[in-house]
Amino acid sequence: MAAPASATADTSSGPASAGTPRALRNVVFVDGVRTPFGKAGTKGIYAETRADDLIVKVIRELLRRNPDLPPERIDEVAIAATTQIGDQGLTIGRNAALLAGLPKSVPGFAIDRMCAGAMTAVTNIAGGIGFGGYDIAVAGGVEHMGNHPMGEGVDPNPRFVSDNLVDSSALVMGSTAENLHDRYPNLTKERTDAYAALSQQRYEAAAKAGRIGADLVPVATRSSESGWGLATADEPPRPGTTVESLAGLKTPFRPHGRVTPGNSAGLNDGATGCVVADEETARGLGLPVGMRMVGYSFAGVEPEVMGVGPVPATEKALHRAGLSIDDIGLFEINEAFAVQVLAFLEHFGIADDDPRINKWGGAIACGHPLASSGVRLMTQLSRQFAEHPEVRYGITTMCVGFGMGGTVIWENPNHDETAGGAK
């Protein structure tokens, strides 16, 4: 379609003239929600629920909770999924936008960085906002691991083996976690079990205080055997978990290994989403500002020890932001495996039970539907920011399959210099 003459004139005199001044814009996290997370498999709450329907519920809840956000103002819907076929296919972002009833003028796309999918959706959108490509967008992720088991349809290039590019264990996440134990022998099974029990206990306390449920959108769940139900709470958590109850669990990835179903996240179904915006746009529309993005980094590591990814990603992000780990007052780190969290804490000299870490428990308790988890971390961090004006900076970080890590540093807009805390 031919552009109107005036538009042509504008474009020729616009970007074509080098050195057009650009202002970098502040990117804010407005609000986030998620579905309750379910256990993957035929007995799970979402066994008969489609992945695209999960993300649709999330998008609609974001709009319901933010009536000041005109749907037609949404410039992009970036949705992550690791396996982008079937009910996670058809360019899930666009597919979900249409299904959610957003105006047809709202575009969408699909994104994949395995576990850091939703996180990458947010950073990608943030880049676009900073550059001026978007004012406001929806970012999120979905993974229905019941419908799409890990590794579904993958076809690894034989050169990975023939050229010794990676060890075969690199493709099995549990094995990479065992490898991490090998690398850091002082990260014992006793410590990972203790961490896992702590995660369950923290989650349980947060749930009882109403902190978890507040961010969940209820999802109607179909069961052809027993009729409709309503998912209002996470299915994976195991309240009452203790170190003792974890001790005897099997180690499926190695005989007499250390990684158990108890000290790692399970296989889960769920979706998350958030609204990310240019700060001025958000404030102009009267939208809440939950967090301000300071910076982000992704980093690669050896795929055989992918769990160490958050370490270089965080170092890099802090360096770029001119901050140090001591500036960070709250951490939301994804718990794919307890050992991977401990490797991070060990690196930065933080105690296993430091109260700044995963205050409301983590994926070991609530679950980890791969591509969706990044936004869960962000939503929870934004809520914690509101409760902790004394904290200025927080991070969300996660390890990523095939040897990566991702970290986003956030600033607390509620930070009050006078509240006492410098951090």
Q: Give 62 or 398: the residue with its C-beta nearer to other proteins.
A: 62
Closest CA to 340 of 321, 372, 362, 360: 362
Q: How far is the CB of 416 from other proteins (least distance, A)?
A: 31
Q: Does 56 bind other proteins (CB under 8 A)?
A: yes
Helix (H, G, I), strand (E, B) or coil at 395: strand
Separation of alpha carbons 390 and 97, rounded Å: 38
What lies within 8 Å, CB to CB, of 86 at 6+ separation is: 51, 147, 148
Separation of alpha carbons 378 and 69, rounded Å: 20
Q: Does 63 bind other proteins (CB under 8 A)?
A: no
Q: Which stretch binds other proteins (CB under 8 A): 83-91, 176-184, 224-232, 329-337?
A: 224-232
Q: Does 229 bind other proteins (CB under 8 A)?
A: yes
Q: What is the CA radius of gyration of the chain?
A: 21
Torsion of CA 84, 63, 38, 198, to 10 degrees: 110
End-to-end CA gap in the chain = 53
What lies within 8 Å, CB to CB, of 15 at 6+ separation is: none
Q: Which stretch binds other proteins (CB under 8 A): 78-86, 97-105, 109-117, 292-300?
A: 97-105
Q: Give 26 or 221: the residue with its C-beta nearer to other proteins.
A: 221
Q: Which stretch binds other proteins (CB under 8 A): 6-14, 147-155, 215-223, 389-397?
A: 215-223
Of 144, 388, 399, 415, the catalytic one is 399
Q: Does 213 bind other proteins (CB under 8 A)?
A: yes
Q: How far is the CB of 314 from other proteins (least distance, A)?
A: 36
Q: Give 151 or 229: the residue with its C-beta nearer to other proteins.
A: 229
Q: Does 217 bind other proteins (CB under 8 A)?
A: yes
Separation of alpha carbons 124 and 129, rounded Å: 9
Name the helix (H) or strand (E) containing 332: strand 328-333
Of 144, 181, 368, 388, the catalytic one is 368
Q: Does 60 bind other proteins (CB under 8 A)?
A: yes
Q: Does 67 bind other proteins (CB under 8 A)?
A: no
Q: Looking at 21, 158, 185, 227, which residue binds other proteins (CB under 8 A)?
A: 227
Judged on CB neighbours under 10 Å (0-12, 13-18, 19+), 100 is buried
- CA distances for 22 relative to 124, 137, 152, 367, angstroms: 19, 20, 44, 42
DSSP string, 158-203: THHHHTT-S-GGGG-HHHHHHHHHHH-TTS-HHHHHHHHHHHHHHH
Tokens matching residue 114? 């395995």
Q: Looking at 16, 226, 322, 355, which residue binds other proteins (CB under 8 A)?
A: 226
Q: Give 228 or 355: the residue with its C-beta nearer to other proteins.
A: 228
Known catalytic membership, residue 399? yes
Q: Give 102 or 342: the residue with its C-beta nearer to other proteins.
A: 102
Q: Which stretch binds other proteins (CB under 8 A): 52-60, 341-349, 380-388, 409-417?
A: 52-60
Q: Which stretch binds other proteins (CB under 8 A): 56-64, 244-252, 346-354, 377-385?
A: 56-64
Q: How far is the CB of 101 from other proteins (least distance, A)?
A: 6
Helix (H, G, I), strand (E, B) or coil at 414: coil
Footprint of other proteins (CB under 8 A): 53, 56-57, 60, 99-101, 213, 217-220, 222-230, 232-233
Catalytically active residues are 115, 368, 399
